[in-house]
Amino acid sequence: MPQFSFEPVVMPPEALKLRQEVRAFLADEIQKGSFTPAVGSMVEGDEAFSQKIGAKGWLGMTWPKQYGGGERSSLERYVVVEELLAAGAPSLCHWIAERQSGPQILRHGSERAKTTILPEIAAGRCYFAIGMSEPDTGSDLASVKSRAVKTDGGWRITGRKVWTSFAHRAHYVIALVRTSGTPDQRHYGLSQFIVDMKTPGITVRPIYNLYGGHDFNEVTFDDVLVPDDMIVGGEGRGWEMVVGELAFERSGPDRFMSSYPLLAEAVDEMGPDPERMQAAELGRAVAHLATLRRMSASIAGMLNDGKSPVTEAALVKDLGTTLEQEIPEIVRRILPVEPRGVGSDNGYVDLQQLAQMQCVSYSIRGGTREILRGMIARGLGLR
């Protein structure tokens, strides 16, 4: 029977040294007031901050130098991502582009896409959105109805995407559309396109979330022209591309550390002498966090070796989002607070409220709990 494989990973000395550098930089930025720590990587975006990180060489770190990268290891990148999340740094602008779209373009994009887009992502100046979900297509992604039709020198896309995070500030969206066949032909005939958000025919409409924030959108494509060389991986290979991409999307520290700044703040709030029950509850959360870290770092090691640990990534996301959702509950139990509204003068209260409202979405975005568990069962040969 197939089994999970989580080979232990030892962080190399250069990653440990880098961690200290990143930590010192972030502490300095907080002290200078350049940002206030927030929960979740996908909440706050600050172009100037992303550009500072880019100038440090901390974006696109694993990519070739000719495309603006640093030719460093996945484990060094892992350390940077972990520290940004731990500090609650405003990383939203570059997040999707650096985590997911850039690696996809590097592996499957045209030479023009690589030379024009990747250096901009690495500099923290170019941002992406993911156009997979549609009004009737979420978990069942193969049923997308948006279509692209071949024309001279390119493709014309028509359709509607929904829940498109960050589309209102992104420079590009990678859209999954049908280029041949019909929705009931499932995985056959899907393709991915890099679409410049400035192209005529694109309309972006905000969708407000539970706490009134504008994170995601509905994006409509009306006969939008995309050049031939902005197809990713070739016509008809969209499904293969999506599956590969999701291993990157599901396994990183952003799938178990979204609530970390709240946990850290709660430790400070309790002080050096917590009650027994408080220590036990926090101890349990920290033990889970430590285990998830090892599992997630192991996946980073596998991705570094060119493997595609899809089942393991699904497991990390399922367990990780469960912990991210538990943390606000645990903190609420052991440290009761009066709701005072976001923007109060108490950072801990703000974090708690934001975490509580945001965490509902963690087990939906990037693949729901039920879908992940189905994948895990299939990966283990149980269905």
Smaller CB separation from ligand FAD, 142 or 226: 142
Of 30, 335, 371, 380, the residue at the interface with ligand FAD (CB under 6 A) is 371
Pairing of strands 172-178, 128-131: parallel
325 binds ligand FAD (CB under 6 A): no
Smaller CB separation from ligand FAD, 72 or 317: 317
CA distances from 334 to 183, 189, 277, 304, 351 (A): 50, 52, 8, 40, 15
Residues 6 or more apart whose Cβ sits within 8 Å of residue 97: 121, 126, 127, 128, 170
Instruction: Show the binding pattern over residues 206-245: x = contacts ligand FAD (CB under 6 A), - = does not.
Output: ----------x-----------------------------
Pairing of strands 172-178, 214-227: unpaired
Site of tokens 């500099």: 123
Asked if residue 333 lies in contact with residue 277, where contact means CB atoms within 8 angstroms, the answer is no
- In whole angstroms, the minimum distance from the beta carbon of 173 to ligand FAD comes to 9
183 binds ligand FAD (CB under 6 A): no
CA distance 230 to 220: 19
Find the part of the chain contacting ligand FAD (CB under 6 A) among 72-80, 226-234, 319-327, 369-377. 369-377
Find the part of the chain contacting ligand FAD (CB under 6 A) among 119-127, 128-136, 226-234, 301-309. 128-136
Of 50, 100, 110, 165, the residue at the interface with ligand FAD (CB under 6 A) is 165
C-alpha torsion 48→49→55→56, nearest 10: 160
- In whole angstroms, the minimum distance from the beta carbon of 191 to ligand FAD comes to 15
Smaller CB separation from ligand FAD, 23 or 369: 369
Of 38, 84, 87, 132, the residue at the interface with ligand FAD (CB under 6 A) is 132
CA distance 309 to 251: 9
Residue number, nearest CB to ligand FAD: 138
346 binds ligand FAD (CB under 6 A): no
Total residues at interface with ligand FAD (CB under 6 A): 18
Of 199, 322, 344, 368, the residue at the interface with ligand FAD (CB under 6 A) is 368
Smaller CB separation from ligand FAD, 342 or 371: 371
Write phi, then psi, for 80 (nearest 5 degrees): -65, -45
Sign of CA dihedral 163, 165, 169, 173: negative
130 binds ligand FAD (CB under 6 A): yes
Smaller CB separation from ligand FAD, 18 or 157: 157
133 binds ligand FAD (CB under 6 A): yes
Smaller CB separation from ligand FAD, 45 or 274: 45
Asked if residue 333 lies in contact with residue 281, where contact means CB atoms within 8 angstroms, the answer is yes
Tell me how far the alpha carbon of residue 102 is from its chain's centroid. 12
Asked if residue 253 lies in contact with residue 85, where contact means CB atoms within 8 angstroms, the answer is yes
Which stretches of the chain bind ligand FAD, using CB under 6 A?
A: 129-133, 138-139, 163-165, 216, 361, 364-365, 368, 370-371, 374
